[in-house]
């Protein structure tokens, strides 16, 4: 709860629209800069800014000191006067170099820390979001936010912010010093600035939407790459490599076209501003020269102003050159903040209490549920599970079996009705304390890229090696683990791909044992394995579920026939709920399902078994 509140916004965000919500550019920029200037970073940022201003002030007076030295030569001044101005110029140059080095060192650290804090904030906030958020957004899309978008934001911090701040300070100081030296030539020198700003504004209006579109296209490309690589077996087995290649080229070319246009318009600003700068230098030299000939200004001042024009125009050119990085970073920030602004849909009640286990007595009363409002998945379901009972759950595909499990673990909140666990209302319980007592073994045995031992320890903080080894023995996994190259220290590849399906499943069962749960949920835990391995897994599952209230989803009904009761779902409703023998005697829905698995198609050899309609939600 505390973690969710830490990242919670002061205003609600519609989770269905948050990914598409437009944000004001200035607001996004301010939020990005906040990671660089807020809290503990603020004192260091102020020091860096102070050093930067001092360094650029030293740079701003250099042309004036040079002009004074030229005037000494021009009017036959003394060598001492020349030496004084030269020494002052050298001192100003050294101050600029040393102070700039210190400022850049601090700014560089602030930029990398800002990137680090943003990425940590983004990933941490994603851990607080509800399962429904991940249902709506593909893994590739979210990975793009964590990689592509944070990379362009890092570039925004490390180049655009630091250099644009430097440029803005330099423009301001140069203008002030120029006014102090000669207001007439200052007026001439700044004539070009509005033209530069106009060019930048036109380019920004064209390139800003293009950079936003580029990030969207890169997200689609990243999502396709991730999905295709994850499903490489399907691609290869269906001989769809050419299709994948063509689709990838299409998406990549789409991103290339948008990116080339965006960067072309943005990069075009640099040669334009450079050309305008040289034109302005010529204008200043021409007008200043005429004024010097007429005795209205010193020659040194004219020479100094040619330097001031460069000091004034160069940062404008720098800003125009960095606009692409800035706009790209802002586009990435907009996409990142749409996730950070998303609120978890399932939150603990303000008065939530910790779950107190009292045996595992579960009651569901008139429960309705829908993922999408108005489209019910579960309808008016009522049932009761006594402590220690094992409940088998079966039914046709799409009947609502996994959905029922999802609401019992409170991955989703029900629309109406009541769920009581040991007499405690599910909605009033702290989710962490509830899920800590529930062990889950899924159909897809997910293992992390880590050692076997660390995968086992993942289930419970503080678990010892001895506890993990004992759990592996109970799950019949110990023997094959010991035959691995480094035993329990063997490094597994992504998702445990260097193990067989059955081996991965036995490790997940051992991991559930390490968690020492009070309630158990099994979702197709024995599918896709051979008969011998299934027997080993079933033996481990029996030990895992012994004495615990448990739910087992299964399509192969033989795996749940010994359950205390079997719950039969069809079309989101519980149509039968009784032990196997009793359901077989009724010769109803379950009887037809069971016999169809042992006697071929539905209706063959069933005697007086009924015809049934399979209903998906």
**Each residue of 314-371: pLDDT tens digit?**
787 777 767 777 888 888 888 889 889 888 888 888 888 999 989 889 999 999 998 8
Which pLDDT belongs to residue 602?
44
User: Is the distance from CB of 551 to CB of 582 less than 8 angstroms?
Assistant: no
Least confident of 45-49, 259-263, 340-344: 259-263
Structure tokens at 415: 């629309």
Q: Which CATH architecture has domain 355-430+562-617?
A: 3-Layer(aba) Sandwich (3.40)
SS3 per residue for 492-503: CCHHHCCCCHHH
Cβ(567)–Cβ(593) below 8 Å:
no
What is the pLDDT at residue 616? 53
Is pLDDT above 80 for 189? no
**pLDDT value of position 78:** 67
Summary mean pLDDT of the chain: 79
- Alpha carbon 141 to chain centroid, angstroms: 9
Separation CA 153–CA 325 (nearest Å): 9
Look at residue 599 in the predicted model and tell me its pLDDT. 63
What pLDDT does 350 receive? 87
Contacts of 467 (CB under 8 A, 6+ apart): 514
Read off the pLDDT band of 568 (50, 70, 90): very high
Position 48 confidence tier, pLDDT thresholds 50, 70, 90: very high
Tokens describing residue 541? 């599952």
Whether the per-residue pLDDT at 2 is higher than 60: the answer is no
Q: Please report, for the chain, the start and end positions of each structural domain, with discontinuous segments joined by +.
A: 8-340, 355-430+562-617
Task: Evaluate if residue 23 carries a pLDDT over 60.
Answer: no
Q: Residue 282 in 3-state DSSP?
A: helix
Q: Which phi-psi region, left, alpha or beta, contains residue 39 (left: φ > 0; alpha: ψ -120 to 50)?
A: left
Lowest mean pLDDT among 10-24, 424-438, 470-484: 10-24
Q: What percent of the chain has pLDDT over 90?
A: 15
Percent of the chain with pLDDT over 70: 81
Burial class (CB in 10 A: 0-12, 13-18, 19+), 532: exposed
Lowest mean pLDDT among 276-285, 365-374, 378-387: 276-285
Q: Say if residue 234's pLDDT is above 50.
A: yes
- Give the Cβ contact number of residue 422 at 10 Å: 19
What pLDDT, in 10s, does the model give residues 464-513?
Answer: 999 999 888 888 889 889 998 899 998 888 777 788 888 888 888 888 88
Q: What confidence category does residue 238 fall into, taking pLDDT thresholds of 50, 70 and 90?
A: low
Q: Which is more confidently placed, 282 or 562?
A: 562
Among the listed residues 254, 249, 245, the one whose alpha carbon sits nearest the alpha carbon of residue 218: 254
7 pLDDT higher than 50: no
User: What is the pTM for the complete model shown?
Assistant: 0.70
In the prediction, which pLDDT does 529 show? 60
Q: Is a pLDDT exceeding 60 seen at residue 58?
A: yes
**DSSP-derived pairing of the beta strands 565-570 and 390-394:** parallel
Looking at the domain 8-340, which fold is it? ABC transporter transmembrane region fold (1.20.1560)
Residue 423 pLDDT class (50, 70, 90 cuts): very high
Q: How far apart are the first and last CA of the chain?
A: 33
pLDDT at 3: 39
Residues 525-553 have pLDDT tens digits of: 666 566 666 677 777 777 778 888 989 88
Question: Mean pLDDT throughout 164-179?
Answer: 84
Could you read off the pLDDT of 111-124 as tens digits, one per residue?
988 988 998 888 88
């Amino acid at each position: 709860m505390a973690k969710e509140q830490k990242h919670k916004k002061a205003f609600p965000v519609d989770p269905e629209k948050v990914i598409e919500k437009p944000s004001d550019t200035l607001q996004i920029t301010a939020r990005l800069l906040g990671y660089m200037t807020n809290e503990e970073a603020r004192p260091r940022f102020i020091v860096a800014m102070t050093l930067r201003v001092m360094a650029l002030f030293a740079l701003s007076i250099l042309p004036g000191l040079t002009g004074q030295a030229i005037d000494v030569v021009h009017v036959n001044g003394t060598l001492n006067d020349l030496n004084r101005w030269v020494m002052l110029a050298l001192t100003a140059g050294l101050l600029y170099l040393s102070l700039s080095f210190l400022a850049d060192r601090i700014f560089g650290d602030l930029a990398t820390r800002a990137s680090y804090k943003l990425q940590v904030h983004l990933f941490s906030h994603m851990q607080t979001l509800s399962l429904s958020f991940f249902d709506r957004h593909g893994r590739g899309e979210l990975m793009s936010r964590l990689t592509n978008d944070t990379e362009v934001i890092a570039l925004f911090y490390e180049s655009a912010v630091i250099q644009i701040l430097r440029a803005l300070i330099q423009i301001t100081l140069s203008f002030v010093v120029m006014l102090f030296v000669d207001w007439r030539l200052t007026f001439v020198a700044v004539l070009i600035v509005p033209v530069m700003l106009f060019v930048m504004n036109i380019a920004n209006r064209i390139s800003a939407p293009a950079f936003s579109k580029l990030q969207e296209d890169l997200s689609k490309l990243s999502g396709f790459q991730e999905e295709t690589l994850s499903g490489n077996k399907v691609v290869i087995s269906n001989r769809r490599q050419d299709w994948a290649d063509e689709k990838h080229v299409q998406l990549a070319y789409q991103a290339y076209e948008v990116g080339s246009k965006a960067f072309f318009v943005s990069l075009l600003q640099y040669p334009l501003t450079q050309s305008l700068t040289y034109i302005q230098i010529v204008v200043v030299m021409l007008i200043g020269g005429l004024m010097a000939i007429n005795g209205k200004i010193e020659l040194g001042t004219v020479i100094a102003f040619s330097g001031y024009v460069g000091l004034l125009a160069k940062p404008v050119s720098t800003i125009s050159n960095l606009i692409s990085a800035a706009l790209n970073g802002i586009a990435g920030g907009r996409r990142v903040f749409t996730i950070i602004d998303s609120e978890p849909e399932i939150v603990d009640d303000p008065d939530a209490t910790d779950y107190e286990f009292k045996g595992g007595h579960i009651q569901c009363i008139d429960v309705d549920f829908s993922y999408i409002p108005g489209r019910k998945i579960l309808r008016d379901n009522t049932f009761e599970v006594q402590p220690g009972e094992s409940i088998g759950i079966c039914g046709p595909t799409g009947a609502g079996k996994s959905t029922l499990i999802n609401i019992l673990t409170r991955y989703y909140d029900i629309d109406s009705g009541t769920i009581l666990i040991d007499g405690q209302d599910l909605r009033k319980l702290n989710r962490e304390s509830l899920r800590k007592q529930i062990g889950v073994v899924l159909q897809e045995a997910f293992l992390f890229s880590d050692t076997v031992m660390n995968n086992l320890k993942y289930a419970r903080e503080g678990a010892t090696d001895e506890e993990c080894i004992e759990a592996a023995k109970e799950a019949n996994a110990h023997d094959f683990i010991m035959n691995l190259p480094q035993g329990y220290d063997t490094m597994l590849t992504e998702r445990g791909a260097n193990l067989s399906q059955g081996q991965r499943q036995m490790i997940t069962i051992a991991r559930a044992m390490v968690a020492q749960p009070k309630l158990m949920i099994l979702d197709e835990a024995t599918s896709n394995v051979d008969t011998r391995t299934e027997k080993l897994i079933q033996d481990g599952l029996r030990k895992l579920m012994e004495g615990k209230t448990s739910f087992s989803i299964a399509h192969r009904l033989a795996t749940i026939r010994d359950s205390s009761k079997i719950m039969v779902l069809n079309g989101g409703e519980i149509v039968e709920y009784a032990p196997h023998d009793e359901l077989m005697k009724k010769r109803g829905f379950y009887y037809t399902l069971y016999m169809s698995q042992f006697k071929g198609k539905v209706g063959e050899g069933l005697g007086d078994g009924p015809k049934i309609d399979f209903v998906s939600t």
